[in-house]
Amino acid sequence: MWAWLLLPGSIFLAVLFIVPLTVLLLLSFGMPNWTLTNFLRIGDNPAYITALRNTLEISAAVTALAFLSGYPVAYVLATGRTKLRTFLLVAVVLPYFTSVLARSFAWILLLGRSGVVNELLLQFGWISQPVTILYNRFSVIIGMTHIVMPLMILPMFTVMSSIDQRLVRAAKASGASPVAAFLTIFLPLSLPGVIAGALLAFIYCLGFYITPALLGGLSDVTLTMEISSQVVDQLDWNFASALSILLLVSVLVILWIGSRFFPIEQLLGFSDGKGRISRRQVGARWLINIGSAANALDPYLPSLGSRCVPILAIFLAMLLLLPVLIVAYLSFSASPYFVFPAPGYSLRNYQAYLSDPVWVRATFSSIRVALMSAAMATMLGGMLAFGLSRGRVPGRGVIVAFILSPIIMPTVVVAVATYFLLVRIGIQGTEFGLALGHAVHAIPYVVVIVVAALRDLNPAYERAARSLGAGHVATFRTIAVPLIRPALIVAGFFAFLTSFDDVVYVLFIGIGRITTLPMRMWEGIKQDINPVIAAVATLQMLFAAAVIVIGALLGHGRKA
């Protein structure tokens, strides 16, 4: 019975995700006039090879920097005291659920010629004139690292929190120094999280569009920007499809390589991961050989249990929060321009937002689309979660990979593919069509949240109901659904937030026809950076924070 619940969501994803990607593949080969011209054109033009190289180089640099910055935070999150862990978790989660557009905008305010960083450097006398740290690769890497750091930290924290600290204490009791115990015990056990976090971050970076487009220079064009140019400016759909397939193949190759080391679904609640982690432990035993060297160097190295790592983690967490806090601060500035520090404080930017009919219409458009998307994603994702958790179906791993694939594939590629399908059925450029695209992207998040809730649900309740004569449907309706209702509500909130903050789908699916709130922000940032945008970005952050608080309260209530 439970397996049948997989059917509606699977059909929905097949029609709105698999079919569009198939059409995209066919278009890249010039359907109906089959040809390799589009792919040969990529190899013949150095600009596209350069765009691919830029994409790979930036993604690698961002992933490495995110790992170096994220590992100390994840370590303290897993091993620190309760109050410190709470602060760090807020510092990681709040930016994670804050709009990518808002965070990218924050770095424009920070790194511009008259931005916060240049103003501070001038005031301290460290420079005599503003330096150029915006619209180049440096700003792209910094901005992207800020966005993917939570994506790197959370998988590492998931694995680190499952490490038995008694193993580390046993190593110390056996004579190992703190550094040696870390290198020989904790680090090897944390490698699965490092691999999964790096894999997710690198793949996410490959599909970045908003941040490189806003912060990058002319020499930092990425493959996603070339795809956008072919769709929006050149209207060359076939060549855009070929570029999209090139990006998609790059992601699939990296996923295949990464899957040799660690399956991402373990971190998303679909398996316990015990077997694979133990194999990684065996593969990491070579690290034990450096234990003696670590013992020798320990007098010269700070202890991992000392204040150094917590202080570093707090500093890095503050850097995560800093951009969003700066935007919130400047949103209350009385100046009609961005000036740091603010010459005075006023609500003029919020008043301008609420009194402008363009902003108000865009806001209500976003709300309508997000409500439709959240309703579809919550219903279909909830059914998929029940089917996966309770049903006995062959090929469960394939189904899980299929359900998770919309959030792993580059958003630009999926948005372009969805556009072709919506054009064929005549709903391109409509709010309902946009909601369909958003629902495809939101369903995996709903499934992850609900599966986690079902995994923690005591099956004795359902067995007791069935022993009293209740059928599967009655048990589902009277026992399972009420117990996981908080998780469904939280999943619905996150689905709403995913849709409400989107820009990429609107750029392609709603070309020139739909203006949502993020799209209005995008146009404002590209054309004229107005302080009103800071007020809108701050309201988006407050909404994300409200979602997090509600989710935490509902989760606490369910456990109680």
Query: Helices 187-206 & 46-79, crossing angle to 10 degrees?
Result: 140
pLDDT of residue 509: 83
The pLDDT value recorded for residue 179 is: 78
Decide if 168 contacts 181 (C-beta within 8 A).
yes
8 Å CB contact between 195 and 261: yes
- Cβ(403)–Cβ(443) under 8 Å? yes
Per DSSP, the three-state class of 50 is helix
3-class state of residue 321 by DSSP: helix
Question: Is residue 418 assigned to a domain?
Answer: yes
- The per-residue pLDDT for 365 is 93
Contact status, residue 288 vs residue 58, Cβ threshold 8 Å:
no
Angle CA(405)–CA(409)–CA(411) in degrees, nearest 5?
A: 125
**How far, in Å, CA of 140 to CA of 390, rounded?**
44
Closest CA to 440 of 477, 407, 465, 471: 407
DSSP 133: -
Note every long-range contact of 310-316, with CB atoms under 8 Å and residues 24 or more positions apart, other chains counting: 310/76, 310/80, 310/84, 312/72, 313/72, 313/73, 313/75, 313/76, 313/77, 313/80, 313/84, 313/88, 314/84, 314/87, 314/88, 316/69, 316/70, 316/72, 316/73
DSSP character string of 507-556: HHHTTTT---HHHHHHHHHHH---HHHHHHHHHHHHHHHHHHHHHHHHHH
pLDDT of residue 374: 94
Q: How far apart are CA 149 and CA 64, in angstroms?
A: 10
Residue 39 resides in a domain: no
Rounded-to-integer distance, Cα 371 and Cα 439, Å: 10
Domain-located, residue 78? yes
Handedness of CA 8, 155, 194, 269 (dihedral sign): negative
pLDDT of residue 262: 59
For residue 175, what pLDDT is reported? 78
Q: Is residue 95 part of a domain?
A: yes
Is residue 463 situated within a structural domain? yes
- DSSP assignment of 356-379: -HHHHHHHHHHHHHHHHHHHHHHH
262 belongs to a structural domain: yes
Domain assignment present for residue 396? The answer is: yes
CATH number at residue 180: 1.10.3720.10
Residue 428 domain boundaries: 2-29+46-559
Q: Classify 331 as helix, strand or coil.
A: coil
- The amino acid sitting at 309 is V
Running along the chain, 560 residues long, what does each successive block of 10 average in pLDDT?
Answer: 79 91 85 82 86 91 94 88 83 81 86 84 85 89 92 85 81 78 82 84 87 86 87 79 86 76 53 41 37 43 60 89 86 83 87 91 93 94 83 72 81 86 84 92 87 72 69 69 78 87 84 83 79 86 76 58
How far apart are alpha carbons 170 and 167 in whole angstroms?
5
Question: What was the pLDDT predicted at 380?
Answer: 93
In the prediction, which pLDDT does 236 show? 81
| pLDDT computed for residue 2 by the predictor | 62
Residue 56 has which token pair? 């790979």
Please indicate, yes or no, if residue 36 is contained in any of the structural domains: no
What does pTM read for this prediction? 0.80
So what's the pLDDT on residue 443?
92
Helix residue spans in 29-177 (DSSP H): 37-44, 46-79, 82-96, 100-111, 116-123, 137-160, 165-173
In this structure, what token pair is assigned to residue 395?
A: 């090929």
Q: How does DSSP classify residue 299? A: G
What is the number of structural domains in the chain? 1
